[in-house]
Structure 1
C-alpha cells in the first residue's frame, strides 16, 4: 500500500457537461474507488499520463461537502465546515479560503465530466487517501481491509489444518529461506522468530500492517504456513486472550496476489498455483478478536513453501545429475520429439538462431537460449513425445558449449524441474564447469506424453545474462556411465 502523497495525482469528476476541450477515455486507465469503506461503481476514477483522477461529486457527497458550479466562469467551489476550495477549468491555480495555491495540474474534462486534483482537495479537507497498486484501487477515508471488496480478480484460498510442514497428513514441503525480512512501522517483535522454528516467539501487528520476505533470486513458491495467535506454557489461555489473523493478502513481484482466509486455529496453511517471485508481501486484512480486546494480532511462525511432494505417492524427487563423457553414439537410439516448444527464445543475431530445436541438431556449438530479461528463471522448454512414451533416462548438455569461453560467458542451469504428463515431476541439480553431458537414469520408467524442463536456478555468466541449453537427449533405456 502506497500513500498518495508519494504520487502525482490529479482530478475529481463533476457531473456537469462543459464546452471545453476534452481528454478522451482512450487516453485513460480505469481504476477502482472506495470511499468510507464503500465501493463506488457509478463513476470510476481514471489514470492518465501517470496522474490519477477521481469523481468530485461522488467524493464530495460521500464526504459531506457542498458543491457549487458557475458555468459562466467554469469555476468549481467545494465547501465543508470552515474550509472553502475553489478551482477553475484550465487553470493550475486554486484557492483555499481565498488563499491562492498551485495545483499539480489544472482541472480537465473527460467525456463531459470535470476533473480536479485529488491531492489538492484531500489535503485541503485533511482526508486520508491511499493507493493499492495490485488492485488499482483509490481508497479515500478507508482502510486496507476494504480492498477485499474490489479484489474480484484476486484468487481466494481457504487455509487447511497443517502440522510441521505436513498438509492433510499427505504432503510434505521444502521451505524457502528469505534473504531479508522487512515490515511496516506498526509491526513489532522478533522478526527472526518468524522463521526460527520456535513457536514461542514472533511478532505483533495491526490491520493494514505488512511483512515482506525478500529472496536472493527469483523463486518458485507453492504455499504458506502460518502459526497465528500468542503462545506460552499456558498456550490456550494466551491464544484466546489475544487477536489471531483471519484474512491475509499475499502480493508477489509479478504483480499478482492472492487472499488467504484463515481458520481460528494455531497451525494452518494453503497450497496455491506455483508463483515465480522475488518476494512475498503479507498484509493483515482481518483478525479474530481476543477476549482481552488487545489491539495487536500475533503471528508466531510464517513459512514460505516450495517443492511440495506427496508422502503416500511421491511425485517430486530431487536428484544430482551424473556426468556422461559422451552420448553421441547413443543418440541414434534416443527418442525423437514430435515437436518442441519453449516459453521464449533469444532473438536471432545475424546467422545465429536460438530455437528450441537447436537442442536436437547434434551440433554442440548451438543452443536454445531463453529470451526474457533477467536470468531466465521460470522459463521452460517442452519436448512433445508420442502418447504414452516410456522413458528411462534424461541427458542434457548444459550451457553454450561452443567453447569454454562462451560456456562461462553465458548462464548455465544449476537446478531444473522436469514435469511429465502423468502429473509427476522431479528436480535435477547440475554441476558447473561441465561441458560434457549430465543426466539421470530412472530405475522405473516414466510413461509420459512430454517432458517439460523449467529453469529453477542458474549459474551466472561472466558477460551475458542469458541461460542456454545446448543439447537434450531423452532415452528409452538406461545408460551406463
Structure 2
C-alpha cells in the first residue's frame, strides 16, 4: 500500500510540473501570427530571450557570424552583438554607430544562440508589448512607414550600390551587366552597370580620353568615388545619360540611366542618380576581372603590362580592345581589338587590297598568321579555339607599329587560373550540433552541394553525417574558379603518372587523412593525373587559405586543409622535396581536401 501511495504521489507531482511548464510557456506573436521556436524562449533578469536566427529571419533580416561577434543585417542597418556581452551596436551608415547596453547578454542554450527579443525587435523599428498574465510578447512591425534604405549587389557582388527604397525594384542581369529597374506608379528609372575590365590610368580625365569618350560637365568627387557624365541624349520626352565612375578601389564602371519624362521631371531623376552615386562602395567579394586579366565567357588572358582592356559589344561578336595606358595629352594610343564568335567574314582582301606581307606568330601559345596591309596600315589574324573563332585586328600608324602589335600579342598568355576541383569539407563535431560554414572565395562558385546560400547552416554528427534541410550528406562540396590563385612550384614532388594512386595514398595518409577520406580523393584525382607521363605536385597552404578563407561557427578545435596543385612535367623536372607535416585530430575536427590543375 505504501508503495502504491508513493507512486501516486510521484505521478501527481510530475503531472503538476507538466501543467506548470505549459502555463509558463512564453508565446511570441509577430503581427498577429505566433512564432514557433525549436528552443523555447526563456526569461532572464525580466528579459525575454529567444533563438536569434529564427527571430532575425522573421523580421526579414540575415545573420552573419564573424567570431566572436554576430551580425544581424537588414537592408541598411547592422546590429552587432557578442555572446556573453551586454554591449550592442546599431550601425545605419549615416552617422556613428549607436551603442546600446543590454539588460541581459546573448547566451547559448542547447546549441542555439538566444538574444534579447525586445532589443532586437526595436532595433529594426518594431513595437514590442508584454502581457504578464498570458506570458505573451506581441511584436508589431511598422509596415506602413516608408521603408529604410535598401542595398543592392552590383556586378556579381564586387561592388555594392544602395538606393532609397520607396520604389518597386526589379533586379537582374542583362548579359554580364547588372540591371536594376525602379518603378513607382507609371514611372520607371532603368540603370545598367557595366564593369569595364580595366583600372584607372591615374585620373578620370585620362580615363575618359583613353576610352574614347567625351567629358560632359565637371568631375564630381565624393566618398572616394569620382564620376563624370560622358553621354547625354536627354530630350523633352526621354532622359538618357551615361556616367563613367572610378570606384574607390580604382576600377572603372559605366552606368547608364534612362527613363521617360512622362510623370517624372529631370530633377526627380537626377535626385535618384545622385543617390546611386553617393551610395556606391566597395563590396567584400571581387569579380573575376582583375587588373592583370581580361575575362570573357570563353577566354581569360593575362594583359600585357602597360595596357588595359576596354570591353566592347557588337551585334555579331563580343570582345574587347586592348589599349595602351597613356596620359590624357597623348592621342592615338595603340590598341588592338579581339572579338570572338562564330567564323567571321575573313579573306585575304581588305578594301580590295591584298596583304603586302604575312607574318607567323603566336596568340596565347598557339600559332597564328598575321596579314599586313598598306591600306590604313591594317592588320588581322584569326585564331580558332574549339567551336569559336577569335578575330584579332588593328589599325596602326605605320609598319613599325604593326610589328609592335605582333610582338605584343605574342606575349599575351592564358590567365594561369584554373578551377578548384571537388574541394569537400568533412565536419566531425564531438556531439550533434548546428554548424555554420562560410567560404570567402576570391573568385566565383561554379557548383555547390548542398546549395551555398551565403553559407551552409547544417546539423553535423560525430560520425561525419551532415543534415541540411531534410537531406543527408557525407560532406559539403564546392567547385569554383580562382582567377587570382597563383601557386608556385618552389617545392613539391615529381611523380610518374602511373604512380599517382600509390603516391597519393602514402602522402595523404602521412598528412592525416583517414582511409575513407584519402580513397575518395584518389578515385577523383588519380585517373586525371595518370593521363600525364609525369606530374609536378605541390600541396598549397597559405596561398590557398588566402584565396578560400574558411570560417566555421562554432570554431573547430583542429582543422586540416589539403589542397593539391599539379601540372604536367617531364622526367628531368627537378623540385625541392616538400615537407609533409602530420595532423593531430582533437575535439571538433574539420577536414577539407581538394585539387587544382594549373593551366
Fold match (TM-score > 0.5)? no
- Give the TM-score, by structure 1 length: 0.29
The structure where helix makes up a greater share of residues is 2
Structure of higher CA gyration radius:
2
- Highest relative contact order (Cα 8 Å, sep 6+), 1 or 2? 1
- Give the TM-score, by structure 2 length: 0.25
